[in-house]
Structure 1
Amino acid sequence: MIRVKLTSVLVDDQQKAKVFYTEKLGFALKRDIPFGNGASWLTVTAADEPDGTELLLEPVHGVAEAVTFQKALFAAGIPITAFGVDDIHAEYARLTLLGVEFRGSPTKPASGPTTVALNDTCGNYIQLFQIDEAS
């Protein structure tokens, strides 16, 4: 059986990403293993699931194609990934108080989840979503 155990987000600065993803978003640091050239195998997990899926904060430096891809998504306003939340309005309020920049406020389309996108300060928009019973 195939399972998602690791996924990644491209970041333009791993140390800045580590601070943002742990101190702002509330993830827990799982691994920070240096592997040369100033980069690390840097992963975080949901704070309440330390053995859950790991998110690799993957550096883009030195890979021109990754930099181009990341910048193109950001310029187009397209989130690089999405994270589920239990209460999107509470997370929006909490993160706003921490100074996180959002692209608008949470919106609920006629069908589908309630969503809002935030700037992770590392070159990406991240979408938060809440699946409602009616979605």
Structure 2
Amino acid sequence: MKVDLTLIENNIRENHVHENKSLENRQPNELNNTDETIEREKQELQKKLNYLNLEQQNNTNIQIRLLQMKHEFDEKLRNVKNRYKNEIEDLTRYYEQITVKNDTLEKRSTQVLALTLTLFCHFELIRNIPKNYELTFVFHKVMRLQEIKD
């Protein structure tokens, strides 16, 4: 029995040594294969990372350009608004000046018309006065007519 145990123990040791050798032989190959696989995956991931970095940089550049375009557009829009606001203010002032001038002209034309009518009435009165009327009487009559009109 002791021999059997020793034999089993030796057998187990041999198997263990054999397995260790087998593992030692397999390990470098597997390690090499694993290293190669890891290196390939690393390279693939590096390529993907480079691509993503490039894409992110492109997106960042696009965003920067869009912001620049937005600022340019906002500036142009502000300039256009200011220009039209100034033009509207100028036109409003010009309209007010024209309105004042128009009112002044209407007032003056009314005054001229009143004066013309007064002169016409005086002329008609003087023309229709008989020759024997005194001039002072005519003057007083014209003055009364003027007061009535005013």
Length-normalised TM-score, structure 2: 0.13
Query: Which structure is richer in relative contact order (CA contacts within 8 A, separation 6 or more)?
Result: 1
Relative to its length, the structure with more strand (as a share) is 1
- Rg larger in structure: 2
Relative to its length, the structure with more helix (as a share) is 2
